Amino acid sequence: MTAVAESIHTLADLSAWTFPGVALAVVGHPIAHSLSPVIHNAALAELARTEPRYRDWRYFKFDIAPGDLPAALAAFHRLNFRGLNLTVPHKSLVVEHLTKSDPFVRAAGAANTLTYFEDGWHGANTDGYGLTTSLQQELGAALAGSSVILLGAGGAARGAAVECLRARCASLWIGNRTAASLATLLTELQPIAGSTDLHGFDLANPPAGLPAGAIVINATSLGLAVTDPAPIDLKRIPKPGRVLDMIYRPPQTALLRQAAELGLPHANGLAMLVHQGARSLELWSGATAPVAVMQAAALAALNPPAA
């Protein structure tokens, strides 16, 4: 059972898909690093202990290239998958394929959670909840009233930016290497910025005016490969207050290594993954997700016992 859930499936597998139970999945490209099947299948096993209907629920992993996303979404819907999680690079790409979306998705232009309905996929974004909960749990930090330096302008960054603005952070500085993507994001965020000071900057050339004591959040994919450099040199920022890297595998990226060297409070994205996943599972099932079980399963997967 576990081996099946941990296999990496592709679009081709959907043409002969025969799973008889209730199927859920995470969809990304790449996807090998994802712990979502580990945490969700652990949660489903725990729910099945007291509620038999969850015994035939399984969560799978699919590697779907961006160009294949429309075909994959149609196939998942035809096969009655109950729900999907979206990760890099699909969070923004999926929005145009939704028949309905919540206000957070419309504001962020990104969805990470899809739920099956007869008329199509309904989208939600649980990343904001995962972000605020993990910041509080791991770093004792709150977005409200804080200065935030957000790295990236893709789907993950969009969700984080909207959450920062909704929480009324004091200022939000978004850094990205592609000027056009950054400009588009800033334009889309301006209507909901309210009293928050909203700025953009080139990650390759951080400005001198970045705020001191800020919460630094990495929402880029730099760090997924162990050889990746940090998206920014933390020494170019007036002493940050805290550093959160959304990446959780590997558990320590170059950015987090530098944060440790500088003595800065820091955390990876594991708690964020667990909490956004828990909220997704609750949307699909209506049950209260066993967060502690999901957290333990994630930690066990990242720290397997020595042979």
The tokens describing 80, both together, are 């009655």
- In the chain (307 residues long), the average pLDDT of successive 10-residue segments reads 65 96 97 94 98 97 98 98 95 95 90 97 95 97 98 92 96 97 95 95 95 97 93 95 95 97 97 97 98 96 77
Name residue 267's beta-bridge partners.
Answer: 244
pLDDT at site 305: 75
Q: What is the pLDDT of residues 90-120, one digit of tens each?
A: 999 999 999 999 999 998 888 999 999 999 9
| Contact between 240 and 149 (Cβ < 8 Å) | yes
Strands 83-86 and 113-117: antiparallel
Amino acid at the residue 84: L
d(CA 32, CA 91): 17
Tens-digit pLDDT profile for residues 57-102: 999 999 999 999 999 999 999 999 999 999 989 999 999 999 999 9
Q: Tell the residue number behind the tokens 């004792």, with chain if given.
A: 140
Domain spans of the chain, in order of start: 2-125+272-302, 128-268
Q: What is the pLDDT of residue 93?
A: 94
Q: Do domains 2-125+272-302 and 128-268 have the same CATH topology?
A: yes
pTM: 0.91
CATH superfamily for domain 128-268: NAD(P)-binding Rossmann-like Domain (3.40.50.720)
What are the percentages of helix, strand and coil residues in the chain, rounded to 5? 45, 20, 40
Model pLDDT, residue 3: 36
CATH of domain 2-125+272-302: 3.40.50.10860
| pLDDT in the model for residue 265 | 98
Active-site residues, by number, are 91
CB-CB neighbours of 233 under 10 Å = 13
